């Protein structure tokens, strides 16, 4: 996790993720992020092939991503001009 950034309505926090797996495993991981109840944003994504020889039928890839998570800012008050 990185430092939190406070906006008007929300607070965002970046998470750095490094992993290796098959392309299908990365696809399933990002589908689950997309179906989550919180709001997530994939800020950057880098997939590279692993130079090792394959032992199975699927190629292993290395992935690096920065995922941004949002939550509501409880200290934000709307100024209605009253």
Beta-bridge partner residues of 79: none
For 62-71, the pLDDT digits (tens) are 999 999 999 9
The span from the first CA to the last CA of the chain, in angstroms, equals: 40
What SS3 class is residue 57?
coil
> Mean pLDDT score of the chain, rounded to an integer?
89
Is the pLDDT at 25 greater than 90? The verdict is: yes
Give the predicted TM-score (pTM) of the model.
0.76
């Amino acid at each position: 996790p990185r430092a939190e950034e406070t906006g008007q309505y929300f607070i965002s926090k970046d998470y750095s993720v490094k992993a290796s797996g098959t392309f299908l495993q990365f696809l399933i991981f990002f589908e689950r992020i997309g179906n989550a109840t919180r709001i997530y944003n994939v800020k950057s994504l880098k997939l590279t092939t692993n130079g090792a020889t394959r032992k199975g039928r699927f190629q292993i890839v290395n992935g690096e991503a920065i995922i941004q998570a949002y939550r509501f800012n409880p200290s934000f008050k709307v100024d209605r001009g009253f």
